[in-house]
Amino acid sequence: MKEVLELRINYDYAHLLFKADEGKNLGTSVKVVEISKEDPRYSQVPIIAEEIKKKYDRGFFFGWQIKRRYSKKELDTATLLHLKIKAVFEPTGEECGTLYDETAACEICGANRKQASPLILKKGTIPKKDIARTIGGEVVVSEKFVNAARQRNLKGLQLSPINVEKYYQLTAYTEVELSHRTVAGVDPWDFSEGSNGIEFTVSGGYPVKFEKEVYKCPKGDTIGLNLLSEPYVLNSQSIGEYDFFASKQKIGVKRGLLRPEPIYFCSPAFRKMIEEEKLSGFEFEITNIE
Ligand SMILES: [Zn+2]
């Protein structure tokens, strides 16, 4: 596995760390570079970012993405795969009338609210993929996916019809525990456990309020805003018995319609089905079992 971090650097300051011919320039505002953890400049990024923030009140990088490239053999021999759902859409089920019992949710981080009605979505908004999720974390799959999963008798998938024809909501019957080796944070260098709420007044005298956010719940339900490492899960008997799982611990934050979400995992048989049936919207990484 090769891991690199893709950074979207503020072009105005890119020269402080990168050569002019390095990476790819997007117009004159962003330089996209890939950097590995072993590169000595990796640890310089947050230092330079802080200096720029202090001196000019600007950002050094606008975005980041961890990219992992696996060999075919690595993926083919993995016992458990991290299933990533790339297509994200709105409006959420909550906005379309799906009922949630928020009293079931953690009062600190907002994780684990209970869905109290079938999922309702807006017709015509689901991406043309075989799997997609709303920004609120609701996962839907196509009829083609459902037929293939039933034919192959995959286990551990809970499939419920929704108000949109030919789509189903997918949830997991079984949870697996993430181990402490799973790393999550705000970004690769920021491991803050929450943000302070702030309140201020804008011109015209209107009060603006940012709610305090919790990224790492003291109760352990939410472990961070973004997943930074490959997932590490504790071994359990169910890993050999089922084909689809959700993590017990969540990633993300309660912010407006967003909620902390589980990570999803699947078996090699599940991945084989996706490849053979050419189902779209799925990406796989490897999960470590401890
Ligand atoms: Zn919590």
In this structure, is residue 192 part of a structural domain?
Answer: no
Mean pLDDT of 77-102: 97
> Percent of the chain beyond pLDDT 90?
93
Cα of 114 to ligand 1 centre, how many Å? 14
Mean pLDDT of 161-168: 97
In this structure, is residue 264 part of a structural domain?
Answer: yes
What is the average pLDDT score of the chain? 96
Cα of 110 to ligand 1 centre, how many Å? 6
- Given its phi and psi angles, is residue 86 left (phi above 0), alpha (psi -120 to 50 degrees) or beta? alpha
Q: Amino acid letter at 256?
A: G
Question: Are both 62 and 88 inside the same structural domain?
Answer: no
Mean pLDDT of 182-191: 96
How many domains does the chain contain in total?
2
Question: Are both 114 and 58 inside the same structural domain?
Answer: no
Cα–Cα nearest to 213, from 200, 197, 228: 197
Cα of 215 to ligand 1 centre, how many Å? 9
Confidence of residue 96 (pLDDT cuts 50, 70, 90): very high
**What's the pLDDT tens digit per position in 41-84?**
999 999 999 999 999 999 999 999 999 999 999 999 999 999 99
Question: Are both 90 and 136 inside the same structural domain?
Answer: yes
Whether residue 262 has pLDDT greater than 80: yes
Question: Are both 241 and 163 inside the same structural domain?
Answer: yes
Mean pLDDT of 236-258: 97
Mean pLDDT of 226-255: 97
| Calculated CA dihedral for residues 175, 262, 163, 125, nearest 10 degrees | -150
Separation between Cα atoms, residue 33 and residue 6, nearest integer Å:
6
| Residue-number span of the structural domain to which 276 is assigned | 73-179+224-289
Question: Are both 141 and 163 inside the same structural domain?
Answer: yes
- DSSP H helices, the chain, are 11-14, 45-56, 72-76, 143-151, 238-241, 268-276
In this structure, is residue 189 part of a structural domain?
Answer: no
Cα of 218 to ligand 1 centre, how many Å? 7
**What's the pLDDT tens digit per position in 272-285?**
999 999 999 999 99
Cα of 222 to ligand 1 centre, how many Å? 6
Cα–Cα nearest to 35, from 19, 51, 50: 19
For the full predicted model, state whether its pTM sits above 0.85: yes
Domain boundary among 22, 47, 69: 69
Whether residue 240 has pLDDT greater than 90: yes
Confidence of residue 120 (pLDDT cuts 50, 70, 90): very high
pLDDT of residue 207: 78
Separation between Cα atoms, residue 267 and residue 75, nearest integer Å:
11
Cα of 82 to ligand 1 centre, how many Å? 23
Report yes or no: 127 and 281 within 8 Å, Cβ to Cβ. Answer: yes
pLDDT of residue 193: 95
Cα of 103 to ligand 1 centre, how many Å? 13
pLDDT of residue 210: 76
Report yes or no: 64 and 7 within 8 Å, Cβ to Cβ. Answer: yes
Q: Which residue has the tokens 């075919």?
A: 72
Mean pLDDT of 162-188: 97
Cα of 107 to ligand 1 centre, how many Å? 7
Question: Are both 126 and 266 inside the same structural domain?
Answer: yes
pLDDT of residue 198: 77
Cα of 80 to ligand 1 centre, how many Å? 26
Using CB atoms within 10 Å of the CB of residue 161, give its burial: 0 to 12 exposed, 13 to 18 middle, 19+ buried.
middle
Domain boundary among 39, 69, 99: 69
Cα–Cα nearest to 215, from 178, 181, 180, 187: 187
**What's the pLDDT tens digit per position in 199-213?**
777 777 777 777 789
Cα–Cα nearest to 261, from 88, 79, 116, 123: 88
pLDDT of residue 248: 98
Cα of 232 to ligand 1 centre, how many Å? 20
Cα of 152 to ligand 1 centre, how many Å? 37
Question: Are both 49 and 144 inside the same structural domain?
Answer: no
Separation between Cα atoms, residue 17 and residue 48, nearest integer Å:
8
pLDDT of residue 204: 76
Domain boundary among 19, 50, 69: 69
Q: Give how far Cα 36 sits from Cα of 39, 120, 288, Å.
A: 5, 43, 21
Token pair listed for 162: 């929704």
**CB neighbours of 273 closer than 8 A, spacing ≥ 6?**
148, 149, 152, 154, 279
Cα of 109 to ligand 1 centre, how many Å? 4
